[in-house]
Every structure is written in structure tokens, then in C-alpha cells.
């Protein structure tokens, strides 16, 4: 595995990103329904969510969703749905 893993914010939905979601999310939750392109576009374009994408050798191997919300005293962020491909685990991703 790479010594450093690039992590980027998903700025747009591509076939590659949708395919990665379909491959990775079942590794996180066996009961999760496959995301539609429209649902993924809502996540990527949303003001309250940021989707981070980790790559190794150009391949998407991990996802993390950051949910951002306001409460009366501040703005908070919550990390949700962290998943790393089973083949990339324990290799610094």
C-alpha cells in the first residue's frame, strides 16, 4: 500500500464513485439499500454533507461522510459511514 493515501472531497458524481459506493457500502452494512445516482448526487451537492474519498493507486478504497448541522450553541460536524475496502484495511488507509 501507499505510504500516504490521498483523500479528496467528492465534487461530482461519476460512474466510478457510484460503483465504489455499491462495492463499499455493503461492507459497512449488509442491510443498506444500494444508493441511486440521485441519492448520491444529493449527498455530494448537499450543504449539510461532505463525502470524502480515499484512493490507493487511483482506485477508490474508502469513503467517509461528514454531516454538518447547527444546534442552538454552535455548528457541529458528525462523522458517519466510514468504510474502507476489506482488501485495503490494515494498510494505512
- Whether 2 is covered by a domain: the verdict is no
C-alpha cell at 26: 455493503
Q: What is the pLDDT of residue 90?
A: 85
What's the CATH number where 39 sits?
Answer: 3.40.630.30
Q: Is residue 13 part of a domain?
A: yes
Is there a domain that residue 46 lies in?
yes
pTM for the model = 0.91
What does the pLDDT read at residue 68? 98
Give the total number of structural domains in the chain.
Answer: 1
pLDDT tens-digit readout, 57-93: 999 999 999 999 999 999 999 999 999 999 999 888 8
The answer to whether position 92 is within a domain reads: no
Residue 93 domain-assigned? Answer: no
Q: Is 14 helix (H, G, I), strand (E, B) or coil?
A: coil
| Distance in angstroms (rounded) separating the CA atoms of residues 36 and 80 | 19
Range of the domain at 68: 7-84
Q: Smallest Cα–Cα separation from 52: which of 82, 25, 77, 16?
A: 82
Map residue 78 onto helix, strand or coil. Answer: strand
What is the predicted pLDDT for the residue at 29?
95
pLDDT of residue 93: 83
Position 33 scores a pLDDT of 95
Amino acid at each position: 500500500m501507499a505510504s500516504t493515501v490521498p483523500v479528496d472531497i467528492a465534487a461530482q458524481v461519476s460512474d466510478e464513485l457510484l460503483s465504489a459506493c455499491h462495492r463499499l457500502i455493503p461492507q459497512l452494512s449488509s442491510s443498506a439499500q444500494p444508493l441511486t445516482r440521485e441519492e448520491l448526487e444529493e449527498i455530494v451537492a448537499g450543504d449539510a454533507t461532505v463525502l470524502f474519498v480515499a484512493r490507493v493507486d487511483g482506485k477508490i478504497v474508502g469513503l467517509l461522510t461528514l454531516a454538518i448541522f447547527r444546534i442552538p450553541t454552535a455548528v457541529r460536524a458528525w462523522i458517519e459511514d466510514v468504510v474502507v475496502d476489506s482488501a485495503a484495511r490494515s494498510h494505512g488507509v
